[in-house]
Structure 1
Amino acid sequence: MRVGVKTSVDDIWTQYMNTRRPELREELIAHYAPLARFVVGRLGIPPSSLLDTEDLIGYGMIGLINAIDRYDPSRGVRFESFATPRIRGAVIDQIRQLNWLPRSAVSRMRQVEDTLATLEQRLQRPATETEAAEAMGVSIDQYRQMLLDMSATVLSLDAPLGSMAQEDDATSLSDLLEDEQTTGPAEQVEQHELVTVLAEAIERLPEREQLLLSLYYKEELTMKEISRIMNVSESRICQLRMQAIMHLRASMQTYQTGEAKARKTPRKKAEAGQRRGRGRPRRKSTTEEKSTD
C-alpha cells in the first residue's frame, strides 16, 4: 500500500489503529520520515567526529517510531505536534549519553561572551571576527572553531523527562518552570524595554547575520537550506549563527549592566545623604538657645 490520492494518511491511521498491521506502520514511518529530518535540521547540530547527520536523523527516527506507536488520532492532536518533541527528545537523549558538551566548551563560551561584551562597550558596536580573535589572542580559524563547538549546545524544553518508555503525558522540563505569562505592570514594562533593546541590537548586526537570523527563526529554514541560499558551507552558517547570538547576548549584558548601575546610583546617594545627616551635629533653634540662657 502506498500513500496516494486514493488512500489518504487519515485512512491509513484509521486502519492502523483498528488492525495494527505492520505494513501500515511501515507506510506511516515512510510518510513521516521527512518530519524527522526536518526536526533534526532545526536543532542546528553540526556534524562532528562523534555524530554525523545520518546518525542524528537515525536517532530522530527512533523518536518518530515511538510517536507513531503511541499516537491516538481520537484525541484531536495533530501528529506533527505530537511527534516533534519526541523526535527532539530522542536525539537529545543520545547526545547527552555521549557527554556532548564538555566543561572546556562551556568555559570557551563564557570567554567569547565576555570578550564580545567588553569590545562592544569600548567600540559602541558589534565586534568583528578579527577584533574578537585578537582580543582573545587566537587566530581567526581558532575563533571560528570555538563558535562551531559552541553551536553544538542543545537545550529543549519540549523533550519529555526520563526515558521514552513513559506515558504519552510525560512531564517535560517546560512543565516544571514557573508560568511567566501572568506578568505585572512592572514586568511588562521591563519586558517591552528588553524587546526594544534586542531589536536595536539586531539592527546593529551586519546584514549577513540579520539575514541568517531571519531565515532561521522567522522562515524556519534548516541550516542546509540557509547554506544554499547564502552560498556558504553549513558549518560556516553554524559559526555565523553562533556569532550573531553572542553579539546579541553581549548587547543584552551591556544593557543589564547599565541598568544595574543606574539602580544602584540613587540608592548610594540616598545612603550617603543619610550618613552625612547622622554625622553632623544638630543646630539648636533660637528658642532653645534663649531657654538655655
Structure 2
Amino acid sequence: MMITDENHRSERDSNIEADLGSPENLDGASGREASPTEPEGARFECSAPMEANSCSSRSEDRGVSEGEKEVHPLAGKGCTSLSASELVALDTDNLWNLYLDARERQDEEGKTQVRNALMEKYLPLVRVIALKLLRTMPSSVELDDLVSSGVFGLMDAIGRFDPDRGVRFKSYCSTRIRGSILDQLRSEDWVPRQVRLQASKIDRALKDLGEEYGREPTEGELATRLDCDEAELRRRLARSAAARMVSLSGKWSGQDGSGEQMAHTLQNEKAIEPREVLNEADVLSFITRSLTERERFIILQYYKAGQTMREIGEILQLTESRVCQIHSNVMVRLRSIIDPEQVRILLSA
C-alpha cells in the first residue's frame, strides 16, 4: 500500500513531536527558542590562562565555598592523558577550560580531543534545531542529513567562540548550526530556478505535442511551440538537462517490483576517456569545486586521514551505511573521468 506524500509528512510530524517531547520539557514550545536542557557551562567567562597540564574546576561558579573545594580529579593531568570517555564525563566548564588552554598553547592534538568531547555535549542542541527545521522541509529530506550538516556548524562555532565577548555559547552556536544546515540544503539544490522553469515548459510542450501528433515531436515542432528557433531550443535543452538529474544511488522499479541502482543501468559507449591526462591536481580540483562540504569531509577523512566509515559516521552523526552511500555517490560521479582505483591511489598519496 502506497503512502501519499501528505500522509508521510503527517506521520513524520508525529514522530518529530515524540522526539522533541512535551511542551513542558522543551523551551520553544510556546514560542521561545527551542533547546534541550542547556549544557552546564553554556555561559562562562574566560579566566586567566591556566598552567600547562592543569584544569580549573571553577568551583566558585557553582557556589562552592573555599572550604568545600575538593581536589580536582584532573590535577596534574593534561588533555592528551585523558581518554575520550574521561573527557566526556567532565562538565562543560572544565571542558571549556581545557579547550581554551589547549588553544592558547597551540596544542592541536589536545584541542581536537576536547573539541570532540564538547561536541558530544552539545549534540542534543543540534538535533533539536534539525528537528524544528525538518518540519518545514519536503518529505524527501532526512533528519540524519540535517543533523550531520548541523555538526559542521557546531564544530565551527566551538573553534571560533570567544568567551570574552560575553555572548552565551548556546545562542552563538544555534545561529551557526542553523546556518550550516540551510547552507547545505542550498548547495544541494544547485540548479537555478529559471532553468527549472524552462525545463518544466519543455516537458509540458513535449507532452502536449506527443498527445496531439501521437508521436515524438521534431525539434522544429518543439521550437515552434516554445516560440524560439532550433538553435535556441538546443541551448535550452542543454541547460535544462541539469534539472532532470537524478540520484545515481536511487533505484528504479520495474513492473515485477525488481529494483536496480541507476548507476548500474547507465552506459555511454561514446564517452571520452581522459584518464591518461588526469593527475592528482585534477582530482583535488574536483573535490574542491564539485563536492558539498559533507562529501568533501567524508572523502578527505577516508582517504587522507585513514578513518573508517564508522568513525566518520560517529563524527557526522550518520549511520555507517549512510556514509558509505554518500561515498559511493561521489565515486560514481568520479567514475566517468577516472578509474576508481586510480582515485584511491591519488587520494591516498
- Taking structure 1 as the reference length, the TM-score comes to 0.32
TM-score by length of 2: 0.27
Structure with greater helix share of residues: 1
By relative contact order (CA 8 Å, sep 6+), the higher-ranking structure is 1
